[in-house]
Amino acid sequence: MGNILHKSNERPDVLVHVAANVRRLRLAAALSQQALADRAGVSRRMLVNIEKGDVNVSLSMLDRLAEALGVLFYALVQPPDSEDSARIDEVAWVGRSPESRARLLASKPARQEVELWSWSLDPGEIYESAADDNGWHEMLVVIEGTLTLILGDCEVTIGTGDFHVYPSDQPYRYRNDGPCRLRFIRNVVH
Express each pLDDT in 123-163 by its tens digit: 999 999 989 888 888 999 999 999 999 998 899 999 998 98
| Beta carbons of 187 and 105 less than 8 angstroms apart | no
- The model carries a pTM of 0.59
CA dihedral 147, 189, 173, 87 (to 10 degrees): 70
Q: Could you name the CATH architecture of 87-189?
A: Sandwich (2.60)
Could you tell me the CA-to-CA distances from 83 to 78, 87, 93, 105, 178 in Å, in that order?
A: 10, 9, 24, 15, 40
Q: Where are the domains of the chain?
A: 13-77, 87-189
Q: Please indicate whether residue 56 or residue 44 has the higher confidence score (pLDDT).
A: 44
Q: Could you name the CATH architecture of 13-77?
A: Orthogonal Bundle (1.10)
Per DSSP, what are the bridge partners of residue 174?
Answer: 127, 149
CA dihedral 90, 91, 93, 98 (to 10 degrees): 180
State the number of CA atoms in the 13 A half-sphere of 168 facing the CB: 21
Residues 53-92 have pLDDT tens digits of 888 788 788 889 999 999 988 788 887 776 655 667 777 7
Q: Which helix (H) or strand (E) holds 128?
A: strand 126-129
| Beta carbons of 91 and 128 less than 8 angstroms apart | no
